[in-house]
Amino acid sequence: MPDHARTVAVITGGGQGLGLAIAERLVAEGCRKLVISGRNVLKGEAAAEGLRASGADVRFLPADMSDAGEAAELVERALMRFGPVNALVNAAASTARGSILDTTPEGWDELMDTNAKGPFFALQRFAQAAVAAGHPASCVNIVTMSSHCGQSFLAGYAASKAALANITKNSANALRAHRIRVNGVNVGWMDTPGEDAIQRQFHGAGDGWLEAAEAKQPFGMLVKPGHVAGLVSYLLSPESGVMTGAMVDFDQNVNGAYGE
C-alpha cells in the first residue's frame, strides 16, 4: 500500500465521483493535508467534512476549471494554506455532448477551457512552485479512452481530452529534470453519479440503466472509481519510482482490438 503521510495534495473535481474516490484513497493511506475543488459548494463542503472525519486537514475550495486564472489560483490558495504541495490530480471535466456536425464554437471553447486549458494552468502553477521550492512532485491527469477517438457525439470532448493527453506527455518531458513526474489515466466507461445524470439527461435512460449496461460488459461491471483511485494513488506515490509520461488505458475494452 502506498504511504501518503508526506503527501500534500490538490484534487480538482474532488467533491464527487472519481475525484472524491481518489481523495478518500489518499486520506486512507495517510494523507493529512488535502484541498479538493469543484463548482458545487454543497457537495464539496459535505465531501470535505466526511474526509475530515479521518483526522485529515481537508479544505474545499470552489473553483471553475474553465477559468485559467481560477485554476492557477486554486493551487496558489493551497500553497498558502499548506506550504509546499507535492501532488496534483486534474479530475474535473466537462462531458458536454456535440458531434462534428453540431458542436458550436461556444461549446468547443467550454470543453477546451475546462478539460485542457484549466488543467494546463493548474499544472503550470503547481510545477512552478515545486521547482522554486526544489522538491519532487507528481501529477496525474484524468483523461479518457475517448481521447483515442471517441463516439461521434463526443467530438469536442474527445478532442479536449486528446489535448490533455499531449499536455501530460509534453510536461512530463519538460519537468523530469526537476524530478516532477506527470502521468495520465485513460478511464473507460465509469459508474459515477455524474454518469448517471448524463445517461438520464442526454440518452433518455431510466432506473435500471446501470444494471442493463453492466450486464453487457465483459467483466459484468462498468469501471469503478475505487479501482481507478488505487492506480492514481500509486502513480502519485514514490512507489511508482521514475514512471513519468505514461498514459494508462484503464478499461475492459482493448484499444485497437477487433471482433473475430
Active site residues: 157
Residue spans of the domains in the chain: they are 8-188+225-246, 190-222
Lookup result for grid cell 479512452: 145
SS3 163: helix
What local confidence, expressed as pLDDT, does residue 260 receive? 86
Cell for 78?
Answer: 493551497
d(CA 1, CA 14): 21
In angstroms, the Cα distances linking 15 to 1, 62, 112 are 24, 10, 21
Q: How does pLDDT run across 7-51, given as a tens digit for each residue?
A: 999 999 999 999 999 999 999 999 999 999 999 999 999 999 999
What's the pLDDT band for 259 if we cut at 50, 70, 90?
A: confident
Cα Rg of the chain, angstroms: 18
Angle at 15 between CA 169 and CA 163, to 5 degrees: 20
Looking at domain 8-188+225-246, its CATH class is alpha beta
Is the per-residue pLDDT at 123 higher than 90? yes
Q: How does pLDDT run across 204-248, given as a tens digit for each residue?
A: 989 999 999 999 999 999 999 999 999 999 999 999 999 999 999
**Continuous segment of H or E residues that includes residue 42:** helix 41-52
Q: How does pLDDT run across 149-207, given as a tens digit for each residue?
A: 999 999 999 999 999 999 999 999 999 999 999 999 999 999 999 899 999 998 998 99
